[in-house]
Amino acid sequence: MMVGTGSDVGKSVVAAAFCRIFKQDGYNPAPFKAQNMALNSFATPDGLEIGRAQAVQAEAAGTPCHTDMNPLLLKPQSDHTSQVVLHGKPIGNKNAYDYWRRGTSDIDFRGEVNAAFDRLASRYNPIVMEGAGSVSEINLRDTDLVNLPMARHAHADVILVGDIDRGGVFASVYGSIALQTPEDRRLIKGVIINKFRGDMRLFDEGRKMLEDICGVPVLGVIPYFKDIYIEEEDSVALARKSMQLQQGKVNVAVVMLRHLSNYTDFDALERDPRIHLFYTNNTEDIKNADIIILPGTKSTLHDLYELRRNGCAQAIMRAHREGASVLGICGGYQMMGIEVLDPNHIEGDIERLPGLGLLPTSTTITEEKQTRQVTSQYGRGYEIHQGETVPHGDAKPSPLLRLDDGRDDGYVVDGKCMGTYVHGILDNAPFVDYLLRPFADKLSKASGSFNYQEFKEEQYDRLAAHVRQYVDMEQIYKILTSDD
């Protein structure tokens, strides 16, 4: 189990690296995170929902993802409430205070996540587990489902990951171990220092000091990397991506929504050498983009209201009139229509809002969530949405995609105005080529199609090689095979 001294220390990426390393070494690994909190989710092959990080780790392990890899998913809806997804299906919304209080639920969440682990462990070896946030939130110890209580159930060897780039690594590593109960402290078998910058030799003394005060070995010091691309678990870095327009490339603006979800939809575009992609809610940036993408959202009506309030809605419509392409995905597709209706108050108090009017469609938010993997004429993707979109009034159907299950999806006005419910559609080179076709005159002559799947496989191998170089794998295998 990889646990962290805090959030965003890199344990998800380190877990993905070990999934690929174990696969390369001839094992049959699988990832596991008992409880994940994220808006970035993925549909499994059997049409259920898990956190995207575990789907990425499963891909690194070379195995299909399954809800047993992430049995409990919390999808924040506000600062205080989350949708609770158990074994891939939503079971309702929960206030954070009530969720963390003992005895307030009629569901034995601990029993559910433990059983999911047991099923997974019967099919795979080894299991690469991931903790959540800080491993030393002692005020939540009695209700914790994902860190050391889960490690105790699994009899897992625990490795603590610390982020030296943010500073305070000695205090955070020592404190994280010192705050554990004696029983839990014995589970922690080593430390990995992540995101090191500079000359590694300068940390030799620090490494020994950490081992002396913590009583466990430092199994590796992993340098910070910028040239290996693994899909990120959260969206904290999105707004920092450059907004300066670039010549010889198609400039693609993803509209920053407050409840933006499934932002990994755009990772393939970010790596495509023909494209300069950035995230913005600045009306001037939107006006200057070649392609504007309205992304998925956990709250379509609230984000649509905000787009109208901050002027982005008007900027998108004006940019389209002046030649920009607009693509909506999931909630963004819903916003592009004539109206969005929520008569049963699924999302909140707003019953109806006018959309952007770019597509002749009407959407009604529904209680039932649709989750499935799909294949279209452009390639594979997945659906995760609550809502049904139909032509508005006398408008005739004009589907963007023909799905392999016989259904139609989305709406297309022309090559510069379209929407779809299918996440991951931009991972498919044929669809990206279709999206870029109106801007062929802007592209440099040397640019060609980009195969994102091949790119991801190469990145997993590079990540594994990077971690192998700086982590003592021989010592880790000794820990894993020891009876202690």
Instruction: List active site positions.
Output: 330, 423
Beta bridge partners of 352: 341
Tell which residue, 67, 440, 21, 28, has the closest CA to residue 220: 21
What letters, b where the CB count within 10 A reaches 16 and e where it falls short, cover 373-395? bbebebbebbbbbbbebebbeee
Q: Give the whole-angstrom CA distance, residue 386 versus residue 389.
A: 10
Question: What angle is formed at CA 54 by the lines to CA 432 and CA 293, rounded to 5 degrees?
Answer: 30
Q: Look up residue 43 and give its two tokens.
A: 């549909």
* Counts of helices then strands in the chain (DSSP H, E): 16, 29
By three-state DSSP, how is residue 7 classified?
coil
Positive or negative: CA dihedral 228, 256, 243, 265 = positive
Q: Look up residue 64 and give its two tokens.
A: 């299909």
Q: Give the whole-angstrom CA distance, residue 295 versus residue 372.
A: 18
Instruction: Identify residue 284 by its one-letter amino acid code.
Output: E
What letters, b where the CB count within 10 A reaches 16 and e where it falls short, cover 195-210? bbeeeeeebeeebeeb
Tell which residue, 18, 124, 34, 17, has the closest CA to residue 479: 18
